[in-house]
Chain A
Amino acid sequence: MKLSRIIANTGEWLSGAGPHDQIVVSSRVRLARNLKGKPFPGWAKKAERVAILEEIRGSVEHLPEMEESFSEKLDDLSALEKQVLVERHLISREHAAKGAGSAVVMNTSQTLSFMINEEDHLRMQAIRAGLQLDNVYAMINKTDSELEDTLDFAFHDDLGYLTACPTNVGTGMRASAMMHLPGLVMSEHVNKIINSVNKIGLAVRGLHGEGTEAMGNLFQVSNQTTLGETEEEIIGRLNKVIFQILEHEQNARQILLQQRAETLLDQIGRAYGILCHAHSITSKEALNLLSFIKMGVDLGLFPSNNRLHVDELFIETQPAHLQKGLQVTKLGAEERDSLRAALIRTKLKQMQEPEIGKIPTNGSSSTSSTSETSEGS
């Protein structure tokens, strides 16, 4: 199957529904595995990497759940195609930088993807919309068990699954949730939360994981430790924290509505104004403004059938996605900025204007946990 056919459709994690999907955009679980007795990709010679790639790729393609799938070596993908996959969280930035001896395999709904010869021989992930880490883990765990039949994974009696980096040893599992937290950012509580989460062995990071900036008020919450606890214990601990952050975000929005309704509406209205009329906009500015529109949808200021339009814009305005339909080889930053602005204008025109004067009351807002919502000052 061709990549263009797969990426023509939005992935399930973006278009699908899941529990608490207004605030928890997606849940993802990634497992790192290596073949027994083979050097890790960073130390293996090219011929070894190619042999490992062929072995793993064959097994992955034969999985029953991968009947309809896309599979390609990274050196056969263009820089733009790789970047599209990164923007969809289907491969990592590190993997996109790889060439010969590495490959990617994914299913059509883009819920399962396999990075072969990234930092480890195999990194497989499952990703779904909303907060459903248990289901997502069950999915990838099943895949892992099926692969065990044909592949011999490096496993140590005491240390569990062995990985190239000691930070992943044990379960080899990284579970994460992508959370949209504009309320906590606006009320300036987000740093406090990040710090306390970091203290208990979990990490909060930006949009594309480690070392990336939090754009569009999107944060990734994940486990940092992989050894000494079972997969279920790690996910249980992570779930608890995510629920707490979720509650804090809901409360923050409630308090903003009660105490700073004018500021909140002003922000959403301005974001809408700029996005509707801008002719050049960077991806960072676009994401940050779209975040307000997304919150506006949550608060009931925009009809909820606009949700998908807005969520899609988060992805469609990313640099590689902007260019994917075009025949041009590569656009400059300025050309991208005007193309982005045009795309947003077109999409927002299909949406109804926000009823800014109408502040949601009496729990008509789907985020309100309490039914009492005052009109502010």
Chain B
Amino acid sequence: MFCDVCKSKEATVFLTQIVEGKMQKVNLCEGCSKEKGVNDPTGFALADLLLGLGAAQEIEKNPAGNRCPVCGFSQADFKKTGRLGCSACYDAFAEGLFGMLKNMHRGSVHTGKVPAKLRVGRLRNREMAELQTSLQKAIQEEQFEEAAALRDRIRKLEEEFRNEMVSFEESSTEVNRLASPQGTAEALSVPKPRKQP
């Protein structure tokens, strides 16, 4: 059996974890297990983080090795060139890349510039993720009043998002009829952000 990370060496470290009632198995070779800190008891929980929740099942499903579903680039190609095939590869190979990026850089989350047209959406995604986490926590702690309030805020946010998608789609269909570049730029500009609740 080959290592799930490097896919070239024999796996000698077998890691089994129960997460949310589901069993996850990860098979690693000596080198990769050390790299991921699996041998270190304090870093044990890290393995799951590094490989991503549910990554083990993904690997089982796809024993032939990962390929990017968008561009067809394979993990072997990455090993060979050190370059990725397209931007979707970052999600396709997220599990392996996460640990790598962490070692390579000073952090694993981008804190710098964001393209102007993505700023609103990114903030909302972050807010949504935070609300979801708080909601789960509130439900677990049986704080149902708080949970209801959180649920309402999530719904409101979703609705706002849907409305903006509609107006965006309307303006995009308009774009096809507009020939001038100025018209395109205007039509494509993201609607003004609304006040967040």
CA distance A165 to B105 in the complex (A): 13
Indicate which residue in A40, A119, A166, A171 contacts B100 across the interface (CB closer than 8 Å): A166
Does B83 lie within 8 Å of A158, measured CB to CB?
Answer: no
Stretch at the interface among B9-17, B115-123, B130-138: B115-123
CA distance A153 to B116 in the complex (A): 11
Which residue of chain A lies nearest to B118 when distances are taken between CB atoms in the complex?
A155
Q: Which of B97, B109, B112 has the most CB of A within 10 A?
A: B112
Interface assignment of B59: CB less than 8 Å from any CB of chain A: no
Interface assignment of B87: CB less than 8 Å from any CB of chain A: yes
- On chain A, the residues within 8 Å of B106 by CB distance are 201, 225, 227-229
Does B90 lie within 8 Å of A162, measured CB to CB?
Answer: yes
- On chain B, the residues within 8 Å of A162 by CB distance are 87, 90
Q: Report B66 CB to chain A, min CB distance, Å.
A: 15
CA distance A228 to B122 in the complex (A): 16
Indicate which residue in B70, B81, B110 contacts A170 across the interface (CB closer than 8 Å): B110
Interface assignment of A360: CB less than 8 Å from any CB of chain B: no
Please provide the chain A residues from 208 to 239 with a CB less than 8 Å away from any CB of chain B in the complex: 225-231, 233
- On chain B, the residues within 8 Å of A228 by CB distance are 105-111
Q: Which of B73, B97, B104, B107 has the most CB of A within 10 A?
A: B104
Q: Report B118 CB to chain A, min CB distance, Å.
A: 6
Interface assignment of A149: CB less than 8 Å from any CB of chain B: yes
Does B115 lie within 8 Å of A170, measured CB to CB?
Answer: no
Main secondary structure, interface of B, reads loop
Please provide the chain B residues from 138 to 187 with a CB less than 8 Å away from any CB of chain A in the complex: 181, 185
Q: Report A94 CB to chain B, min CB distance, Å.
A: 12
Does B97 lie within 8 Å of A166, measured CB to CB?
Answer: yes
Does A231 lie within 8 Å of B86, measured CB to CB?
Answer: no
Interface assignment of B39: CB less than 8 Å from any CB of chain A: no
Main secondary structure, interface of A, reads loop
Which residue of chain A lies nearest to B70 when distances are taken between CB atoms in the complex?
A37
- On chain A, the residues within 8 Å of B101 by CB distance are 159, 166, 169, 227
Interface assignment of B47: CB less than 8 Å from any CB of chain A: no
CA distance A166 to B82 in the complex (A): 8
Does A38 lie within 8 Å of B116, measured CB to CB?
Answer: no
Which residue of chain B lies nearest to A33 when distances are taken between CB atoms in the complex?
B115
Does A230 lie within 8 Å of B112, measured CB to CB?
Answer: yes
Does B105 lie within 8 Å of A226, measured CB to CB?
Answer: yes
Number of interface residues of A (CB under 8 A): 42
A119-B83, A154-B87 are contacts. A39–B113 as well, Cβ < 8 Å?
no
Interface assignment of A145: CB less than 8 Å from any CB of chain B: yes
A34-B87, A166-B97 are contacts. A42–B114 as well, Cβ < 8 Å?
no
Interface assignment of A240: CB less than 8 Å from any CB of chain B: no
Does A165 lie within 8 Å of B110, measured CB to CB?
Answer: no
A166-B101, A227-B107 are contacts. A156–B90 as well, Cβ < 8 Å?
yes
- On chain A, the residues within 8 Å of B73 by CB distance are 39, 43
Question: Binary interface profile of A, 6-44, with partner B (CB < 8 Å = 1, else 0)?
Answer: 000000000000000000000000000010111110110
Interface assignment of B45: CB less than 8 Å from any CB of chain A: no
Interface assignment of A164: CB less than 8 Å from any CB of chain B: yes
Does B81 lie within 8 Å of A42, measured CB to CB?
Answer: yes
Indicate which residue in A38, A155, A165, A225 contacts B115 across the interface (CB closer than 8 Å): A155
Interface assignment of A372: CB less than 8 Å from any CB of chain B: no
- On chain A, the residues within 8 Å of B83 by CB distance are 40, 42-43, 119, 164-165
Does A43 lie within 8 Å of B85, measured CB to CB?
Answer: yes
Does B87 lie within 8 Å of A229, measured CB to CB?
Answer: no
Interface assignment of B92: CB less than 8 Å from any CB of chain A: no
- On chain A, the residues within 8 Å of B88 by CB distance are 37
- On chain A, the residues within 8 Å of B107 by CB distance are 227-229
Interface assignment of A160: CB less than 8 Å from any CB of chain B: yes
Interface assignment of B71: CB less than 8 Å from any CB of chain A: yes
Interface assignment of A150: CB less than 8 Å from any CB of chain B: yes
Indicate which residue in A39, A155, A158, A201 contacts B71 across the interface (CB closer than 8 Å): A39
Does A229 lie within 8 Å of B125, measured CB to CB?
Answer: no
Interface assignment of B84: CB less than 8 Å from any CB of chain A: yes
Does B122 lie within 8 Å of A157, measured CB to CB?
Answer: yes
Interface assignment of A282: CB less than 8 Å from any CB of chain B: no
Which 9 pairs, one residue from A and one from B, show the smallest C-beta to C-beta distance?
A: A228-B107, A160-B110, A154-B87, A227-B105, A43-B85, A228-B106, A162-B87, A171-B112, A230-B112
Known: A148-B117, A150-B185. 8 other contacts (CB 8 A): A40-B84, A42-B81, A148-B115, A154-B87, A159-B101, A166-B104, A227-B104, A228-B107
Can you list 19 A-B contacts with CB-CB less than 8 angstroms, sorted by A residue number?
A: A36-B87, A38-B86, A39-B71, A39-B85, A42-B83, A43-B71, A43-B84, A153-B115, A159-B101, A160-B110, A160-B114, A161-B113, A162-B90, A166-B84, A171-B113, A201-B106, A225-B104, A227-B104, A231-B112
